[in-house]
Structure 1
């Protein structure tokens, strides 16, 4: 019995050793590598650079008052459409006391001169009607009378303009009503009723009462890096995408490239502007952020491969073409335009040939 047990244990040990040797042999034997292949294909190759920026109206006007004063009424709100000449706001003029005092003094002097001229004129008129004086003397006195009357009226109008911003003769024309200077949409009204406003002068840009813009004509304003600015020129086609408008592309055409760059984040950036082509009745809000792809060059319907299949040796470019199953040979190829993912094939490959995808 013991003998059979020993023989059994020996057989188990031998089997275990044999299994270990077989397992180690299989583990040491490397599995053959199977390479993936790709075939050339026809596609459009577009080389482009990206400019980031925003979409703004081409014509955006800051409406400012013609006189300083206090806002007494606002007639528009942001988002409303206005025509040229429509009322934006009304102001109450707060005159300077020095100007008022000078204007009142001028009125008093003009009134005294007029009253004196009127008395002289009436006296000369009586003498002329009695044929005591010549007509030339009467006409001279009449001219002085009319001139003094005009001076008085001008002084009174000047005082009224200082105090009220309008005269009776002006009718609807007044500096106290602020009107739109263009057709467009009100983008912003940064003031409220009761706010003081200042007119534009040599020392002050003036208070902006409203921003009005023509929203039918939009412009893309962006920045291009100095490494790319030399490759673009006016008239180039841009493909623009707006972050707030999903799944839609806009056409734009480059119309301005700044001659001077500005340093931003350690790199020199050049400003560009492009006219955006909007569809009929399409509305784009001012200030939307946008990206514009500037088409530097393109090839349509050309034979191409993915750049990952290319291999390099010095200045030479080659691929490995499959001649038999998992058997490859090196072949030099001539390449053209690349978009960073696919590259144009000028010579060296046919459309039906399979190319090895190198492993990293």
Structure 2
């Protein structure tokens, strides 16, 4: 009975031992296969041979060199607007007309001036009539030898003086009547073409903006008020780039350097340019010091460039031809005798990776020049893959 019991236990222990042994073998096999597979899953990149430009990038937009705001010289209400945004206008072209709102106080003053002038004319005419009668009498007496020649000349001068006073009174009446008409309508018929109610363009160019509508009230431009803008006009054939650069890059630039203007809205088309201004003083932008920069834009191809386009200004400082370039993010560093020594991990024939020290050259912030250590055929391990790299790796695994 005891022997049978002992045999059953032995069988059970044997079965359990075999089971655990199988689990151990399967676990070891899984780890081996997992590590083997993992070594094959590293994404690799190769260095490329191409030109590398050391350049400074400025961000900004395209603006007209000179933008003119057209403002009225009188206050009133816009009666007509004769242009729209995008229209080409020439210097002196009629832009809009303004309807004057009469000022009651000014109208009353002008009407009072007319009444005063009319009274002066009436008095002057009476004086002329009386003086003509006196002169006729003095002339008859002079012909008879009753009065002297001097008395006759004095009478003649008095007649001329009263006649001139009458003419002055008539002129004052005409002036007062015209003033009343100007107060009421803003112009007189003979000066209608020069009337301040007619707003004309001061330059030739393209209408960029018309911020007012018919019926809008406008204020004249004077020393106390900037006035209401009727429209803005600019020459779109004379454009410039305005942007900003980081303080670390400002010291590398100087006026007169060549610049490439890249406009994204035109499918990243590039236009030649030249740096014309680098601000002597920086401004704080979210904790970063920025310097303003300006540059000419040369539109030799005659493309239609709209004011306000976003653009990047690329200023090339130096250029390296046929350089061996590698993504700078693939470079790793380790301390060797107190110095940071750069290296990469190169894939071997058996799928493993070997540490290889490299000598670095110029960098543009994205790619770095490899002077020695690897060639363009070496596969470099991507040790810190981005999301984009991970997607590429998944796509590669899917194909395999």
- TM-score w.r.t. length of structure 2: 0.70
Task: Give per-residue Cα distances to partners, 1:243-301, cap 9 Å, x unaligned.
Answer: 3211411222222233343333332333322222113432112222x231332511242
Q: Which residue pairs with 2:292 in the alignment?
A: 271
Q: Does 1:343 align with 2:368?
A: yes
Match of 1:173 among 194, 199, 215: 194
Q: How far apart are the structure 2 equivalents of 1:269 and 1:39?
A: 34
Pick the structure with more strand per residue: 1
Q: Does 1:223 align with 2:244?
A: yes
CA contact (8 A) 2:358 2:373 kept: no
Q: 1:227: Cα distance to partner?
A: 3.0
SS at match of 1:62: strand
SS at match of 1:154: helix
Structure showing greater radius of gyration is 2
Q: Which residue pairs with 2:184 in the alignment?
A: 163
CA contact (8 A) 2:275 2:294 kept: yes
How many residues align structurally?
342
Q: Which residue pairs with 1:213 in the alignment?
A: 234
CA contact (8 A) 1:215 1:284 kept: yes
Q: Which residue pairs with 1:291 in the alignment?
A: 311
Relative distance call for 1:262 and 1:125 in structure 2 (3 A) is: farther
- Structure 1 unaligned blocks of 5 or more: 1-12
Q: Which residue pairs with 2:212 in the alignment?
A: 191
SS at match of 1:172: helix
Q: Does 1:120 align with 2:121?
A: no
Q: How far apart are the structure 1 equivalents of 2:134 and 2:339?
A: 116
Q: How far apart are the structure 2 equivalents of 1:240 and 1:58?
A: 15
Q: How far apart are the structure 1 equivalents of 2:90 and 2:373?
A: 64
SS at match of 1:67: coil
Aligned Cα RMSD in Å? Answer: 3.9
Q: How far apart are the structure 2 equivalents of 1:310 and 1:298?
A: 23
- TM-score w.r.t. length of structure 1: 0.77
Q: How far apart are the structure 2 equivalents of 1:66 and 1:125?
A: 48
Relative distance call for 1:216 and 1:120 in structure 2 (3 A) is: same
Q: 1:357: Cα distance to partner?
A: 3.6
- Structure 2 unaligned blocks of 5 or more: 1-16, 143-151, 384-400
Q: How does 1:319-330 map to 2 (within 5 A)?
A: none
Q: 1:57: Cα distance to partner?
A: 1.8
Q: How far apart are the structure 1 equivalents of 2:45 and 2:368?
A: 17
Pick the structure with more helix per residue: 2
Q: Which residue pairs with 1:154 in the alignment?
A: 175
